[in-house]
Amino acid sequence: MNHKPMKILAVGASGRFGGLVVPELVRRGAAVRALIHDRTKEDQVRRHGAAETVVGDLTDRTSLDAALNGVDGVFYLAPAFLPHEADVGVAVVEAARAAGVRRFVFSSVIHPILSALGNHAGKAPVEEALLTSGMEYVFLHPTVFFQNFTPAWPRIVQEGVLAEPWSAESRFSRVDYRDVAEAAAIAFTEDRLLYGSYECCAEGWHDRHEVAAMIGGVLGRSIRAETVDPKRAAAGAGPGAPALERMFAWYDQRGLMGNALTLRAVLGREPRTLRHFFEELAAGEVAA
């Protein structure tokens, strides 16, 4: 039996979310080559366990080919609101196929067929490209990340307000991206997830009032649920502002819901809970 570790190219390895995948892969014995856009992030990804780093650009086929040379698998998570996301992702799949990559794990999104949301619909063509590529594939469909609360945490604590740019009554499934990272590592180091699509959600469908009460329970004081103007919230996104506004409008009317059953089966345990994530934030165990 060949015990040579699988070599994985981790795209987005220096990011807030893709960076969580690297230590999970290493923990399961994979050798990780980190694709980074900024050379100053090299030490960071090496501290997370990457054996190699390569500087490249997803839109530059030459640098992408160099990054893919000699790897067995690719973990792909597109940057948020990437311009021409579908075209870039399809090109990454084609480059991986041409490089002889065996297994491709795509961190996609819950409900990628939602044509009203560009950040969802842009992932469907990438999945189609993988389905016809001849490579082994696994699709992970995570919902809204717990970690999206992290940047706002100091302000929530200081002001006692949880504010978002959609209705406080909209309900959401959410997930800790550390659980998605673990699922990705399982997808590379075991065969049981091959050729599947896996919805990644923690338990519960909470609205903002319930989330604020949850935070209040952790902090031991009242937290108010408020709604901010969606146009103002999207204004800082530059060219991505229209897509953000469409997403906020969808969330305002419909929320975003899935089911925890699949992730529970993939992990073989209960997914992390939102309350526990807030407890970690309050204890300083997760950097805010």
Are residues 36 and 54 in contact, defined by beta-carbon separation less than 8 angstroms?
yes
What's residue 285's pLDDT?
87
The pLDDT-based confidence of 3 (bands split at 50, 70, 90) is low
Q: Name the nearest CA neighbour of 113 among 97, 126, 124.
A: 124
Q: What is the pLDDT of residue 269?
A: 98
Res 287: pLDDT? 65
Name 75's bridge partners. 10, 105
For 41-55, 226-240, 242-256, which range has the lowest pLDDT when averaged over its residues?
226-240
Q: Is the pLDDT reported for residue 235 higher than 90?
A: no
Please check whether residue 264 is in contact with residue 199, taking contact to mean a CB–CB distance below 8 angstroms.
Answer: no
Phi, psi of 162, deg, nearest 5: -110, 110
DSSP of 223-254: -EEEE--HHHHHGGGGGGHHHHHHHHHHHHHH
Return the minimum-mean-pLDDT range out of 80-84, 112-116, 186-190: 80-84
Q: What is the pLDDT of residue 185?
A: 98
How many residues appear in the chain? 288
pLDDT per residue over 26-81, tens digit each? 999 999 999 998 889 999 999 999 999 999 999 999 999 999 999 999 999 998 88
Query: Which pair of tokens denotes residue 89?
Result: 């992702």
What is the arithmetic mean of pLDDT over 9-31? 94
Do 36 and 197 meet the contact criterion of CB atoms below 8 Å apart?
Answer: no
Q: Which of 89-103, 176-190, 240-254 has the lowest mean pLDDT?
A: 240-254
With CA atoms as reference, report the closest residue to 274 among 222, 231, 210. Answer: 210
- AA identity, residue 149: F
- pLDDT at position 1: 40
Is it the case that residue 228 has pLDDT exceeding 90? yes
Burial string for 98-120 (b: 16+ CB within 10 Å, else e) reads ebebebbbbbbbbbbebeebbbb
CA distances (Å), 102 to each of 25, 116, 210, in order? 16, 33, 44
Would you say residue 288 has pLDDT above 60? no
pLDDT for residue 118 is more than 60:
yes
Report field, pTM of the whole predicted structure over 0.75: yes
Pairing relation of β-strands 52-55 and 174-175? unpaired
Using CA atoms, how far residue 177 sits from 16, 106, 280, in Å, is 9, 14, 14
Average of per-residue pLDDT across 247-269: 97
Does residue 177 have a pLDDT over 90?
yes
pLDDT band at 97 (very low <50, low <70, confident <90, very high): very high
Structural domains in the chain, CATH included, are: 7-143+176-200+258-271 (3.40.50.720)
The whole-chain average pLDDT of the chain stands at 94
